[in-house]
Amino acid sequence: MDLNELKNDWISEFANPMIIAGPCSAESEAQMLETAKRLKESGAEISAFRAGIWKPRTKPNGFEGVGVIGLNWLKKVKEEFGFKTATEVANAHHVFAALEADVDILWIGARSTVNPFTVQEIAQALRGTDKPVLVKNPVNPDLALWIGALERLLGQGVENIGAIHRGFSTYQKTKYRNIPNWQIALDFKNQFPNIPLFIDPSHICGNRTGLAGVAQEAFNVGYQGAIIESHCDPDNAWSDASQQITPEVLAGMITNLQVRNSDI
| Residue 203 binds ligand PEP, judged by CB under 6 A | yes
| Residue 189 binds ligand PEP, judged by CB under 6 A | no
Stretch of 6-14, 33-41, 104-112, 169-177 lying at the interface with ligand PEP (CB under 6 A): 104-112
Q: How far is the CB of 238 from ligand PEP (least distance, A)?
A: 11
Q: How far is the CB of 1 from Mn ion (least distance, A)?
A: 33
| Residue 136 binds ligand PEP, judged by CB under 6 A | yes
| Residue 22 binds ligand PEP, judged by CB under 6 A | no
Q: Which residues bind Mn ion (CB under 5 A)?
A: 24, 240
| Residue 231 binds ligand PEP, judged by CB under 6 A | no
- Burial label, 245 (beta-carbon count in 10 A; 0-12, 13-18, 19+): buried
- Those residues whose C-beta lies under 8 Å from the C-beta of residue 103, and which sit 6 or more positions away, are 71, 74, 85, 86, 87, 131
Q: How far is the CB of 18 from ligand PEP (least distance, A)?
A: 16
Q: Would you say 3 and 195 are in contact if contact means Cβ atoms under 8 Å apart? A: yes
36-75: contacts with ligand PEP (CB under 6 A): 52, 56
| Residue 165 binds ligand PEP, judged by CB under 6 A | no
| Residue 110 binds ligand PEP, judged by CB under 6 A | yes
For 159-177, the DSSP string reads: --EEEEE--B--SS--SSS
Distance of CA 260 to the CA centre of its chain: 21
Element housing 98 (H / E): helix 92-100
Residue 141 phi/psi, 5° resolution?
A: -75, 75
Of 22, 70, 109, 247, the residue at the interface with ligand PEP (CB under 6 A) is 109
Q: How far is the CB of 130 from Mn ion (least distance, A)?
A: 27
C-alpha neighbours within 13 Å on the C-beta side of residue 146:
28
Q: How far is the CB of 57 from ligand PEP (least distance, A)?
A: 9
Q: Would you say 18 and 198 are in contact if contact means Cβ atoms under 8 Å apart? A: yes
Residues that bind ligand PEP in the complex, under the rule CB under 6 A: 24, 52, 56, 109-111, 136, 166, 203
